[in-house]
């Protein structure tokens, strides 16, 4: 006798339940043990299970089991997979080209030229020779331990992903700041993207795209990392003082002039903070994306885990830490310059 037989008997649904048969489902180990040990005795209130699908299915085979639910979700996704691929393949193919091109450029550029380019970019961003020296020294350490190519692959992916996150995220944040209705629509979507475990992003993409296609991990990284720049762009523009907006209106500024001449410049510190967080989240996702063929230092971390090579995993992890420090210090120094410019 199942725990919830009384429920279906009391509702007069016993005949309906029995008409469903057992559905051919194999008996679970718990059911076999219950039969052998005379488990038909009534359970105490203390041991009463929650009326879940499986518990209700024990009493009425017409009720689907939880595995039927997960199987239905899978079959539903597979039924629309081909249609999704027809739409998504041409839309996302440029992402593959960008990633492949970036990887080729970053890895084919001689180390001495890459060091020079990085030094110039860091100096123009931060105006700090000390930080330039730290960045070059960090890259030299990675090159010295033969992790330079892996580091360049990781930086190439972050460069493309962060660029696209900013390219799409800032306009979305601007639109959200100008429409309360759009903001209310987007917030649940952003909450979902921000709270989903990183591995979950990879599951549907594996079914949609080939593991050899760079857009597989590119889409996962962008979806995971785009949220901060959208949120902080929206927040930054909304925090612009209303008196400043009223002053701009009194000078006869159009909405476009107010946006580009007043709101975005004043919101730039928040936007830059969002860019910083987006870059850091891109780095975190690149490591996880090594599970689906993303190149870079994450491959070495994965190798260390799979083959139990402690040294390989720890040294690669040290390289990721160095890259994270470089990216964080440079973007924060750039943010400080923006804040200083705003004060003056």
pTM: 0.83
DSSP tag of 46: G
Q: How many CB atoms lie within 10 A of CB 266?
A: 17
Give Cα separations from 208 to 73, 78, 97, 180, 203 (angstroms).
Answer: 15, 9, 18, 34, 9
Residue 39, both tokens? 């488990």
Could you give the CA distance from residue 93 to residue 219 in angstroms, rounded to a whole number? 11
% pLDDT > 90, the chain: 48
pLDDT band at 203 (very low <50, low <70, confident <90, very high): confident
Which are the contacts of 136, defined by CB distance < 8 A and separation ≥ 6? Answer: 115, 118, 119
| Per-residue pLDDT at 6 exceeds 90 | no
pLDDT tens digit string along 119-133? Answer: 999 999 888 899 999
Phi/psi at 247 (5° precision): -65, -40
pLDDT band at 33 (very low <50, low <70, confident <90, very high): low
Q: Give the distance from CA 95 to its chain's centroid.
A: 16
| Per-residue pLDDT at 251 exceeds 70 | yes
Place of tokens 């885990």: 305
Domain with CATH 1.10.3720.10 in the chain: 72-343
Could you give the CA distance from residue 204 to residue 321 in angstroms, rounded to a whole number? 29
In CATH, the number for domain 72-343 is 1.10.3720.10
Could you give the CA distance from residue 216 to residue 272 in angstroms, rounded to a whole number? 27
Could you give the CA distance from residue 5 to residue 59 in angstroms, rounded to a whole number? 5
DSSP tag of 251: T
Mean pLDDT across 49-57: 85
Helix/strand number for the chain, H first, E second: 17, 0
Mean pLDDT across 12-22: 76
DSSP tag of 290: G
pLDDT band at 27 (very low <50, low <70, confident <90, very high): low
pLDDT tens digit string along 131-186? Answer: 999 999 999 999 999 999 999 999 999 999 999 999 999 999 999 998 899 999 99
Could you give the CA distance from residue 326 to residue 332 in angstroms, rounded to a whole number? 10
Residue 331, both tokens? 């973007």
Could you give the CA distance from residue 344 to residue 339 in angstroms, rounded to a whole number? 9
Could you give the CA distance from residue 47 to residue 35 in angstroms, rounded to a whole number? 18
Q: Are 326 and 115 in contact (CB under 8 A)?
A: no
pLDDT at 186 (0 to 100):
93
pLDDT tens digit string along 235-250? Answer: 999 998 888 888 888 8
More confident residue, 163 or 12: 163
| Per-residue pLDDT at 24 exceeds 50 | no
pLDDT tens digit string along 286-317? Answer: 888 888 888 999 999 999 999 989 999 999 99
Q: Are 216 and 100 in contact (CB under 8 A)?
A: no
Tell me the DSSP string of 21-53.
Answer: --TTPPPPHHHHHHHHTTTTSPPPGGGPPP--H
pLDDT at 49 (0 to 100):
81
Q: Are 275 and 166 in contact (CB under 8 A)?
A: yes
Could you give the CA distance from residue 92 to residue 210 in angstroms, rounded to a whole number? 13
């Amino acid at each position: 006798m199942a725990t919830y037989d009384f429920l279906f008997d009391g509702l007069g649904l016993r005949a309906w339940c029995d008409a469903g048969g057992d559905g051919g489902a194999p008996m679970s180990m718990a059911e076999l043990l219950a039969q052998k040990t005379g488990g038909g005795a009534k359970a105490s209130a203390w041991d009463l299970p929650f009326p879940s699908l499986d518990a209700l299915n024990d009493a009425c085979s017409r009720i689907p089991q939880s595995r039927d639910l997960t199987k239905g979700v899978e079959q539903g996704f597979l039924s629309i997979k081909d249609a999704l691929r027809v739409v998504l393949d041409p839309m996302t193919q440029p992402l593959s080209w960008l990633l492949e091109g970036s990887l080729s450029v970053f890895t084919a550029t001689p180390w001495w030229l890459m060091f020079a380019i990085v030094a110039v970019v860091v100096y123009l961003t931060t105006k700090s020779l000390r930080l330039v020296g730290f960045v070059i020294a960090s890259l030299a350490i990675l090159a010295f331990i033969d992790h330079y190519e892996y580091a360049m692959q990781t930086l190439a992916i972050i460069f493309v992903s962060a660029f696209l996150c900013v390219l799409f995220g800032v306009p979305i944040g601007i639109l959200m700041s100008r429409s309360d209705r759009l903001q209310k629509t987007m917030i649940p979507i952003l909450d979902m993207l921000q709270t989903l475990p990183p591995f979950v992003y990879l599951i549907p993409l594996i079914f949609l795209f080939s593991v050899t296609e760079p857009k597989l991990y590119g889409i996962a990284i962008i979806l995971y990392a785009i949220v901060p720049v959208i949120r902080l762009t929206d927040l930054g523009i909304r925090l612009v003082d209303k008196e400043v907006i009223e002053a701009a209106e009194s000078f006869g500024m159009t909405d476009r002039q107010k946006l580009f001449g007043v709101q975005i410049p004043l919101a730039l510190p928040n936007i830059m903070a969002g860019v910083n967080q987006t870059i850091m989240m891109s780095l975190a996702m690149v490591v996880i994306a090594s599970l689906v063929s993303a190149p870079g230092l994450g491959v070495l971390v994965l190798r260390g885990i799979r083959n139990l090579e402690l040294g390989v995993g720890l040294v690669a992890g040290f390289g990721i830490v160095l890259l994270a420090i470089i990216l964080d210090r440079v973007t924060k120094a750039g943010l400080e310059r923006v804040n200083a410019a705003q004060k003056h």
